[in-house]
Amino acid sequence: MIRGAVWPHSQGGVVGAILIGFGRAMGETIAVALVIGDSVEVSSHLFYSGHSIAAIIALQFGEATGGEFRSALIGLGLFLFVLTILVNLVARWFVERSARRARGA
């Protein structure tokens, strides 16, 4: 019943919600900075401490005295903004495609 009646009509909303949640998680700053830890090393271990892009911007922008370091942080912010916009556009596309399928168009 779920696979035949519920899932076809709710698939776009579920996928869209997952993608929008992913976009929201990319932009989280302080919660991620506190949970992940404070390590700038890149590791192959999944549960090793590290940084997210938003956490790097939030934690190091006050220490940026100017020049290249501040420009790099602003560039990271621009990259994060573009990535979030792309995730939201893909989510909207999935939702609209699912709505068109539900209408039968």
Each residue's pLDDT tens digit, 6-60 = 877 787 788 878 877 877 776 666 666 666 666 666 667 767 766 777 777 877 8
DSSP state of 34: H
Tell me the H-state helices in the chain. 7-27, 30-36, 53-60, 68-103
pLDDT one-digit tens code per residue, 58-92: 778 888 777 888 898 889 889 988 888 888 888 88
Give 70-95 as a DSSP string: HHHHHHHHHHHHHHHHHHHHHHHHHH
**What gap in Å lies between CA 89 and CA 87, rounded to an integer?**
5
DSSP state of 50: -
